[in-house]
Amino acid sequence: MSITLLARKQVQALTPYQSARRIGGQGHIWLNANEAAECGTYELDCTRLNRYPECQPPQVVNAYAAYAGVSPEQLLVTRGGDEGIELLIRTFCEPGQDNIVICSPTYGMYAISAETNGVGIIDVPLNAKRQPDVDAIIDKLDNTKLIFLCSPNNPTGDLVDSSDLCRLLDAARDRALVVVDEAYIEFCPEFSQARLLADYPQLVIIRTLSKAFGLAGLRCGFTLATPEVIGLLLKVIPPYPIPEPVAQIAAQALNEQGLALMHTRVAEINQLKHTLGEHLRAHPQVQDVFAANGNYLLVRFSQGAALFARMAKAGIILRDFANRPGLADCIRITIGTQTEMDAVLEVLQQEQ
Ligand SMILES: *Cc1c(COP(=O)(O)O)cnc(C)c1O
């Protein structure tokens, strides 16, 4: 008998998340995972590594709470934003009974985490304006515990409209939690929905250090919610989720100097994104440049597959979204350095 047959049926059937690392590729310019192009420098004190770390390192909790404008009781530090997503599903969804709602095309981990935990997935695709279809979601609230919205949405870049969100929050009161994934919110901080946390205990916000803070390799994220929700998640989170070196580096990323570095990086990326967007819009083979609210641009080319292959041949690895519903010929380009953006434009010019 094969050991594979011993695994849970769900796991046997599962197609794992196609992360940029898993897909891989051969290249020297990596613009496929929305990572920052460069890394900051950090100091490590290794004198306490013999001891278990705090479950919720206070220096990180306090620094991020101050940065996000919430109280420490409204905050959970997790192993990346992905662990926050997984914990919400494991805490609120009864396997084989409850559902989550997702609005495709969107970030893949909501569905993967639901699937591995035996939780149903109801897809209510974004409407023609690429906004969540609030009325259709409200129709699906029976047996739904979590509604995942992503703002800016990965990969389309669109923001959730505040009045739509409030309408959904009102309908979901005492029935479901509305999770707004703000992994990219530092690139457009004025659109954060965090101020709504004070009025809506059914609102949860996901954040991360992986994107604007340039620390994808650190694996550190945050869940913002009412203290009642945070208390429930704390019952489910493992006892030592945040390794001591991670806590030390996260605290440095969130001190005054770290925040200043992040703001400088965001300003540079937004400028490069703006310039790239203008070049792309002027290019005859570009049909559409999607909303520019994150550190990436989703672009529809007249011949996406050919363009993707040419880029790969030039050593530039992008992310192909062509096989997602509604995203034929669409490629996502992470905003890297000036040199990397020049390399992208050079390949594009050869296309003309
Ligand atoms: C990158 C990302 C995350 C979380 O990433 P972590 O590295 O696990 O913090 C969450 N949501 C979206 C939409 C993302 O793009």
Q: Per-residue pLDDT for the chain (352 aa), expressed as one digit of tens each? A: 689 999 998 888 888 777 766 666 678 999 999 999 999 999 999 999 999 999 999 999 999 999 999 999 999 999 999 999 999 999 999 999 999 999 999 999 999 999 999 999 999 999 999 999 999 999 999 999 999 999 999 999 999 999 999 999 999 999 999 999 999 999 999 999 999 999 999 999 999 999 999 999 999 999 999 999 999 999 999 999 999 999 999 999 999 999 999 999 999 999 999 999 999 999 999 999 999 999 999 999 999 999 999 999 999 999 999 999 899 999 999 999 999 999 999 999 985 5
Q: How far apart are CA 116 and CA 107, in angstroms?
A: 16
Walk across the sheet containing 221-224 and list its strands.
75-78, 221-224, 203-208, 177-181, 144-150, 99-102, 120-123
What global pTM score does this model have? 0.95
- Pocket probe mutation, ligand 1, options 104, 109, 335, max atoms within 8 Å of Cβ: 109
Q: How far apart are CA 88 and CA 107, in angstroms?
A: 16
- Whether residue 74 contacts residue 194, with contact meaning beta carbons closer than 8 Å, is answered with no
Phi-psi region of 69 (alpha: psi -120 to 50; beta: other; left: phi over 0): left
Decide: helix, strand or coil at residue 88: helix
249 Cα distance to chain centroid:
20
Residue 245: how many other CB atoms lie within 10 Å: 15
Residues of the chain with CATH 3.90.1150.10: 3-38+259-349
| 205 closest CA partner among 230, 179, 185 | 179
Atom of ligand 1 nearest to the CA of 220: 9
CA distances from 169 to 148, 166, 227, 262 (A): 12, 5, 18, 31
**DSSP code for 237:** S
Atom of ligand 1 nearest to the CA of 106: 13
Tokens matching residue 240:
């030592």
The CATH number of domain 47-257, selected from 2.160.10.10, 3.40.50.720, 3.40.640.10, 3.30.70.20? 3.40.640.10
Please provide the CATH number assigned to the domain covering 3-38+259-349.
Answer: 3.90.1150.10
- Pocket probe mutation, ligand 1, options 151, 156, 182, 210, max atoms within 8 Å of Cβ: 210
Q: How far apart are CA 177 and CA 203, in angstroms?
A: 6
**DSSP code for 197:** G
- Whether residue 336 contacts residue 29, with contact meaning beta carbons closer than 8 Å, is answered with yes
